[in-house]
Amino acid sequence: MEQTRNEVELCGTVAAAPGFSHENHGVSFYCVPLRVERLSGQLDTLPVLVRAPLPPCLEEGASVRVLGQLRSFNNKSGCGSRLVLTVYAASMEPWDGKPINRVLLTGTLCKPPILRRTPLGRSICDVMLAVGRRYSRADYLPVIVWGQLAQSVSRRKVGEPLGVEGRFQSRVYTKVVDGVPQQRTAYEVSVMHLTDEPDEEP
């Protein structure tokens, strides 16, 4: 099995104008919220990082196709999630087809999987996947696995490889800070298939 894979394809609608994110080695980067509809009709608003110069297709309301990789970095501001996820756009072009949200990852388990059950009794397994990239760096990506696949993944050990196919999704939750409820958004990969188990069941 390929030891490292990080591929993202998103086709959706630009939800707002690009906002400046940061500068690195003289290159400016901008964050663009991309709205992608699920089959259920629910909308995920996902952060996409685009380097300057910005493509002309990035107007608010425009439909675009993004190809890139899922990236993570540590938030040291003390506000919000400690692990921040974004899609780094390697390419972006106009799109007039259906919504697409597809993520292919192959990496290494860097924490013991946590198997639990939802209030409705469905199995869910939380995984942290380390996916290597150039210059000996790695992205640490939270992954959730459902049903019988969750049972299978929960038996894996730290250091074992894992290949998954799923979608990049957003989830709104409430966290109480100093007695004050705050609404926050978490991002994660929800798995549909294991790419290293050809006989997996959904």
Q: Running DSSP on this structure, what letter comes out for residue 46?
A: E
pLDDT given at position 199: 44
d(CA 14, CA 63): 6
d(CA 85, CA 102): 15
On whether the CB atoms of residues 194 and 163 are closer than 8 A, the answer is yes
pLDDT given at position 76: 58
User: What does each of the 202 residues of the chain score in pLDDT, given as a tens digit?
Assistant: 567 999 999 999 999 999 999 998 999 999 999 999 999 999 999 999 999 999 988 999 999 999 999 999 876 555 555 788 999 999 999 999 999 999 999 999 999 999 999 888 899 999 999 999 887 889 999 999 999 999 999 999 999 999 999 999 998 888 888 888 888 888 999 999 999 765 444 4
In the chain, the domains with their CATH numbers are: 5-99 (2.40.50.140), 104-194 (2.40.50.140)
